[in-house]
Amino acid sequence: MSETHPLTPSAHERLQAELEDLTGRGRIEIADKIERARELGDLSENGDYHAAKEEQGHMEGRIRQLESILDHCEIVDIVDDGTVRPGSIVKVRYEGEGPDDVNTYLVGSIEEHTNGLELMSPASPLGLALTGARSGDTVTYETPTGDELRVEVVEVETP
């Protein structure tokens, strides 16, 4: 069973545009590079050819990744209701830290990452604990090592 990827409408549009670019312009350009490299002769010692084929492999991998994400995504609307949800920016303070020790995260998949914020997966233990929380709430979650941590939600923003 494939994982569902929550995407904001803007991330969905950006990924769709990237896929269209790679399957159109990208494939044409890489085919041209491979053809030009073939014209240089012996393929067994042709660095340009091997580099172009490697680039093609990376591009095709990204195309397959984008197709999978877009085939298994759920478009989530950004709702400004003050709760933590995919697409939210959340500021948290871990128990025992000072009032100025605030960590800021963008809640979402890696494909949402656009504005330099640290990313938190909504499927991570902390992401799951924070989902639905509001400013002022304190949530508890278990780390992968089995420790239990408490986190205060300082602020929830809608980008």
pLDDT one-digit tens code per residue, 48-78: 888 999 999 999 999 999 999 999 988 887 7
Mean pLDDT of the chain: 88
Asked whether residue 68 falls in the same domain as residue 11, the answer is: yes
CA 159 – CA 154 distance, rounded (Å): 16
The CATH number of residue 118's host domain is 3.10.50.30
Please give the tally of structural domains in the chain: 2
Residue 64 placed within a domain: yes
User: Within a domain: residue 147?
Assistant: yes
Domain match, 69 and 95 both: no
User: Considering the domain boundaries, does residue 80 fall inside one?
Assistant: no
Question: Could you tell me the two tokens for 81?
Answer: 């209701």
What span, in angstroms and rounded, lies between the C-alpha atoms of 143 and 104?
Answer: 18
Q: Which domain holds residue 133?
A: 89-157
Q: Do 66 and 104 share a domain, yes or no?
A: no
How far apart CA 159 and CA 89 sit, in angstroms, is 7
Euclidean distance between CA atoms 93 and 17, whole angstroms:
37
Q: Could you report the per-residue pLDDT of 100-120, keeping only the tens digit for each? A: 899 999 888 777 776 678 888
Quick one: 66 and 96 in the same domain? no
Looking up tokens 């990744």, which residue turns up? 65
